[in-house]
């Protein structure tokens, strides 16, 4: 079975039901399948070689969904392109992936027009290029050739975010997509009454929820770049029951709802991932969304569903800092540096194997061999299981701070500081230090009208953590910087801290 077959399953279950909503555009499953098949037929005609690589760069709009699903239905390889990346990054990805054709929204065409690749406009018009709208008309009624024979091949090449080095092209096979879909349906139990709000970029984690919901006959509602008030209105007007959001977006939703006195009673699945949420923030989310907050843990190399925790489980205090248990279709262990599998309670590297795991990195066999060893994907994340089988993340291996010979996990420090009632957000970074080797420092965002000082927070952290793990300095920021996929990265925070210090020293 291929991922695109989930769309056809939704068609069988709910042919005249709403499948996709984008503002005034409301599409049934029949209408959506017609458009997807038109695009797939066009691609097979225009790029006849199977498994050609097709880039897709667009906003969250119906044309983007149709293009993405059309790529899947054509038997070609989807290469998502994040429009928030720089021109140089996008050009590098397009070159490395050897793209045959690029779908791009009208306002992103200029990012690619210097290349010799065929361009198709996702949303908008162009005298020089075909558009998704035109293809849906010109190829209406055509059905693509069957692609069932490609089930052992590659579905997508996704390039890693580049926050820990140069982006690498991750080869995601069809089996990884199907494992992800199967885990989502098993863990979250989506059904035909679900209405999924997709507000985070389709090119990343949010896009992986489309086919599971479509596969049970549910509806997807699209928003692009919306702020909390618009998202809030859409949740109510469209009777939204499910959404995936990064923590930064959930924080803004919490703040808006609390200020406006709003509660979202229809939501059954508010799923977060990409970054941790502190227990205090999860409790706030419970106040706004009810006990309906869930979490997922994955990475590009093993997409989305390495582990997950349901809303029912996350409603219990002992689970607030956990990412849940391994998903049913992959195996997860904690491994020591020598390859030994560690027992519950011991911290080591999280490793995973099964259908969810990538085929490897594009044109990087040596890196692939170091990352997948004896069938185990080495995630680079540190974690531990408790006696109940719940997984708790510690840190990225490279993020561990070694200070005075002691290992300090930034997430442990962040979890402590986040319990202070005036702390809205916190990120811990490492600074070079001649005496300690590295020293622990923290950047925080404080609640409005807070009178808490840096010294107050330093004293609080030292009392809770002890002198070794407590930050040596606190930096108060107006807001946390986020990258193109809504994540707060330690590198970006460190850069802001260093720039502010340079500015202060020169003034």
What's 64-131 look like in SS3? HHHHHHHHHHHCCEEEECCCCCCHHHHHHHHHHHCCCEEEECHHHHHHCCCCCCEEEECCCCCCCCEE
* Residue 30, pLDDT above cutoff 80: yes
Residue 384, Cβ neighbours under 10 Å: how many? 18
Residue 87 tokens read as: 């021109």
* Residue 463, pLDDT above cutoff 70: yes
Cα–Cα distance measured from residue 54 to residue 112, given in angstroms and rounded to the nearest whole number: 13
- Tell me the per-residue pLDDT of 181-212, one tens digit each, with 9 for 90 and over: 999 999 999 999 999 999 988 988 899 999 99
* Residue 164, pLDDT above cutoff 60: no
Residue 425, Cβ neighbours under 10 Å: how many? 20
- Name 443's bridge partners: 427, 475
Residue 301 tokens read as: 């190399």
Tell me the CATH architecture of domain 400-506.
2-Layer Sandwich (3.30)
Residue 211 tokens read as: 């086919």
Please report, for residues 169, 353, 359, 369, 472, the alpha-carbon distance to residue 365 in angstroms, rounded to integers and kept in the order given: 12, 18, 11, 6, 42
* Residue 114, pLDDT above cutoff 80: no
Sheet holding 437-446, edge to edge: 423-433, 437-446, 473-476
Give the pLDDT band of residue 468 (cuts 50, 70, 90): confident
* Residue 29, pLDDT above cutoff 90: yes
Query: 274 or 481: which carries more pLDDT confidence?
Result: 481
What pLDDT was estimated at residue 437?
Answer: 75
Residue 22 tokens read as: 């984008």
Which among 89, 84, 103 has a CA at the least distance from the CA of 46?
A: 103
- Asked whether the beta carbons of 324 and 350 are under 8 A apart, the reply is no
Helix H segments across 111-267? 132-138, 174-188, 210-215, 228-237, 247-260
Out of 114-118, 231-235, 349-353, pick the least confident. 114-118
* Residue with tokens 């849906």, as numbered in its chain: 136
Please report, for residues 44, 88, 112, the alpha-carbon distance to residue 121 in angstroms, rounded to integers and kept in the order given: 17, 20, 11
Cα–Cα distance measured from residue 246 to residue 249, given in angstroms and rounded to the nearest whole number: 6
Domain ranges of the chain: 1-13+28-174, 400-506
- Which residues touch 476 (CB under 8 Å, ≥6 apart)? 443, 444, 445, 446, 454
pLDDT, average across residues 395-409: 76
* Residue 163, pLDDT above cutoff 60: no
Percent of the chain surpassing pLDDT 90? 73
Sign of CA dihedral 414, 417, 418, 423: negative
Give the pLDDT band of residue 363 (cuts 50, 70, 90): very high
Eight-class DSSP state of 124 = S
Percent of the chain surpassing pLDDT 70? 97
Cα–Cα distance measured from residue 472 to residue 169, given in angstroms and rounded to the nearest whole number: 38
Highest mean pLDDT among 51-55, 88-92, 399-403: 51-55
Cα–Cα distance measured from residue 501 to residue 506, given in angstroms and rounded to the nearest whole number: 9
Cα–Cα distance measured from residue 44 to residue 54, given in angstroms and rounded to the nearest whole number: 11
Dihedral, CA of residue 54, residue 56, residue 61 and residue 67, to nearest 10: 0
What pLDDT was estimated at residue 165?
Answer: 45
pTM for the whole structure:
0.82
Give the pLDDT band of residue 162 (cuts 50, 70, 90): very low
For the chain, the straight-line distance linking the first and the last C-alpha, in angstroms and rounded, comes to 64
Residue 39 tokens read as: 């695009």
Cα–Cα distance measured from residue 388 to residue 376, given in angstroms and rounded to the nearest whole number: 23
Out of 30-39, 134-143, 145-154, 200-209, pick the least confident. 200-209
What class has domain 1-13+28-174?
Answer: alpha beta
Which among 40, 56, 39 has a CA at the least distance from the CA of 105?
A: 56
What pLDDT was estimated at residue 506?
Answer: 74
Please report, for residues 25, 360, 363, 389, 417, the alpha-carbon distance to residue 377 in angstroms, rounded to integers and kept in the order given: 42, 10, 18, 19, 32
Query: 116 or 328: which carries more pLDDT confidence?
Result: 328
Eight-class DSSP state of 313 = H
Eight-class DSSP state of 324 = B
Burial, 127: exposed, middle or buried (Cβ in 10 Å; 0-12, 13-18, 19+)? Answer: exposed
What pLDDT was estimated at residue 501?
Answer: 85
pLDDT, average across residues 126-155: 95
Query: 435 or 325: which carries more pLDDT confidence?
Result: 325
Residue 66 tokens read as: 């149709």
Residue 275 tokens read as: 């970054």
The average confidence (pLDDT) of the chain is 92
């Amino acid at each position: 079975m291929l991922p695109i077959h989930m769309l056809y399953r939704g068609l069988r279950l709910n042919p005249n039901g709403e499948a996709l909503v984008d503002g005034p555009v409301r599409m049934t499953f029949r209408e959506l399948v017609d458009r997807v098949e038109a695009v797939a037929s066009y691609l097979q005609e225009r790029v006849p070689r199977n498994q050609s690589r097709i880039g897709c760069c667009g906003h969250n709009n119906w044309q983007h969904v149709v293009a993405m699903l059309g790529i899947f239905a054509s038997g070609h390889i989807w290469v998502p392109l994040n429009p928030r990346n720089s021109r140089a990054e996008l050009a590098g990805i397009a070159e490395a992936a050897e793209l045959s054709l690029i779908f791009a929204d009208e306002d992103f065409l200029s990012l690619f027009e210097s290349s010799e690749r065929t361009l198709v406009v996702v949303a908008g018009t162009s005298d020089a290029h075909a558009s998704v709208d035109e293809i849906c008309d010109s190829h209406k009624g055509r059905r693509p050739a069957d692609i069932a024979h490609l089930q052992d091949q590659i579905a997508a090449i996704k390039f890693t975010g580049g926050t820990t080095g140069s982006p690498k092209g991750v080869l995601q096979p069809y089996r990884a997509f199907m494992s992800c879909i199967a885990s989502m349906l098993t863990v979250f139990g989506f059904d035909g009454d679900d209405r999924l709000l997709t507000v985070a970029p389709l090119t990343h984690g949010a896009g992986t929820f489309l086919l599971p919901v479509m596969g049970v006959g549910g509806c997807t509602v699209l928003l692009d770049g919306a702020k909390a008030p618009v998202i809030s209105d859409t949740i109510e007007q469209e009777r939204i029951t499910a959404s995936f959001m990064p923590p930064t977006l959930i924080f803004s939703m919490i703040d808006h709802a609390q200020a406006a006195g709003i509660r979202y009673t229809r939501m059954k699945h508010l799923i977060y991932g990409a970054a941790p949420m502190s227990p205090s923030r999860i409790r706030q989310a419970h106040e706004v969304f009810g006990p309906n907050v869930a979490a997922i843990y994955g990475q590009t190399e093993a997409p989305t569903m390495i582990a997950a925790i349901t809303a029912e489980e996350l409603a219990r205090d002992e689970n607030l800092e956990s990412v849940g248990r391994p998903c049913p279709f992959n195996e997860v262990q904690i491994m020591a540096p020598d390859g030994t599998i560690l027992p519950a309670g011991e911290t080591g590297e999280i490793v995973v194997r099964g259908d969810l795991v990538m085929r490897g990195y594009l044109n990087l066999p040596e890196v692939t061999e170091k990352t997948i060893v004896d069938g185990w994907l080495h995630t680079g994340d540190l974690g531990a299981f408790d006696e109940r089988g719940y997984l708790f993340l510690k840190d990225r291996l490279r993020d561990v701070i070694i200070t005075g010979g002691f290992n300090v996990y930034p997430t442990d420090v962040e979890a402590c500081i986040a319990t202070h009632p005036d702390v809205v957000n916190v990120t811990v970074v490492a600074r070079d230090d001649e005496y300690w080797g590295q020293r622990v420092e923290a950047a925080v965002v404080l609640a409005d009208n807070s009178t808490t000082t840096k010294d107050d927070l330093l004293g609080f952290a030292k009392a809770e953590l002890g002198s070794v793990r407590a930050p040596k300095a606190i930096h108060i920021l107006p807001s946390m910087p986020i990258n193109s996929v809504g994540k707060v990265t330690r590198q970006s925070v460190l850069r802001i801290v260093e720039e502010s210090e340079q500015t202060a020293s020169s003034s």
